[in-house]
Amino acid sequence: MSKGAAEKVTISLDAMGGDNAPVNEVAGAIETVENNDGINITLVGKAGLIEKELKKYSYNSSRINIFNAEEVIEMHESPAEAMRKKPDSSLVQGLKLCRSGEADGFLSAGNTGAVMAASLFTLGRIANVSRPTIGSRFPTERGISLVFDVGANVDCKPLHLLQFAVMGSVFANHIYGIDNPKVGLLSVGEEKSKGDAVTVETHELLEKSGLNFIGNVEGRDIMKGETHVIVCDGFTGNIVLKFAESVLSLLKTKFKDYADRGIINKLKVGMAYGTLKDILKDFDYQEYGGVPLLGVNGVSIIGHGRSSPRAIMNMAIKAEQMVRAGINDIIAQKIKDINEYKI
User: Which listed residue (2, 128, 130, 140) binds a second copy by CB under 8 A?
Assistant: 140
Asked whether 142 and 227 are in contact (CB, 8 A), the reply is no
Closest approach of a second copy to the CB of residue 332, in Å: 28
Closest approach of a second copy to the CB of residue 305, in Å: 13
User: Which listed residue (3, 255, 306, 326) binds a second copy by CB under 8 A?
Assistant: 255
User: Which listed residue (121, 280, 284, 306) binds a second copy by CB under 8 A?
Assistant: 280
Q: Is 139 in the site for a second copy (CB under 8 A)?
A: yes
**Which is nearer to a second copy, 131 or 318 (by Cβ)?**
131
**Which is nearer to a second copy, 45 or 79 (by Cβ)?**
79
> In terms of DSSP H, where are the helices of the chain?
23-35, 47-54, 79-85, 90-100, 112-123, 158-176, 197-207, 234-259, 263-279, 309-325, 327-340
User: Which listed residue (8, 125, 251, 306) binds a second copy by CB under 8 A?
Assistant: 251
Q: Distance (Å, rounded) from C-alpha 14 to C-alpha 212?
A: 36
Q: Distance (Å, rounded) from C-alpha 228 to C-alpha 248?
A: 23
**Which is nearer to a second copy, 4 or 274 (by Cβ)?**
274
Closest approach of a second copy to the CB of residue 288, in Å: 15
User: Which listed residue (141, 260, 329, 337) binds a second copy by CB under 8 A?
Assistant: 141
User: Which listed residue (38, 215, 219, 326) binds a second copy by CB under 8 A?
Assistant: 219
**Which is nearer to a second copy, 176 or 255 (by Cβ)?**
255
* Beta bridge mates, 134: 293
Helix, strand, coil % (nearest 5) of the chain?
45, 15, 35
Q: Distance (Å, rounded) from C-alpha 29 to C-alpha 303?
A: 14
Q: Is 1 in the site for a second copy (CB under 8 A)?
A: no
Closest approach of a second copy to the CB of residue 139, in Å: 7
Mark residue 202 as left, alpha or beta (left: phi above 0; alpha: psi -120 to 50; beta: remaining).
alpha
Q: Decide: helix, strand or coil at residue 320.
A: helix
**Which is nearer to a second copy, 56 or 242 (by Cβ)?**
242
Q: Is 75 in the site for a second copy (CB under 8 A)?
A: no
Candidate segments 12-20, 162-170, 279-287, 297-305, binder of a second copy by CB under 8 A: 279-287
User: Which listed residue (181, 234, 289, 295) binds a second copy by CB under 8 A?
Assistant: 234
Q: Contacts by 73-79 with C-beta closer than 8 Å and gap 24+?
A: 73/16, 73/110, 73/111, 73/114, 74/111, 75/19, 75/110, 75/111, 75/305, 76/111, 77/111, 77/114, 78/113, 79/111, 79/113, 79/114, 79/116, 79/117, 79/118
Site for a second copy in 173-212 (CB under 8 A): 186-188, 195-197, 199
From residue 6, how far is each of 30, 60, 299 by CA, in Å? 21, 18, 19
Candidate segments 21-29, 176-184, 241-249, 328-336, binder of a second copy by CB under 8 A: 241-249
Closest approach of a second copy to the CB of residue 257, in Å: 8
Asked whether 237 and 194 are in contact (CB, 8 A), the reply is no
- How many chain residues touch a second copy (CB under 8 A)? 56
Asked whether 119 and 296 are in contact (CB, 8 A), the reply is yes
Residue ranges that bind a second copy, judged by CB under 8 A: 139-142, 151, 154-155, 186-188, 195-197, 199, 218-224, 232-236, 238-247, 249-251, 253-255, 257-258, 265, 268-269, 271-272, 274-276, 278-280, 282
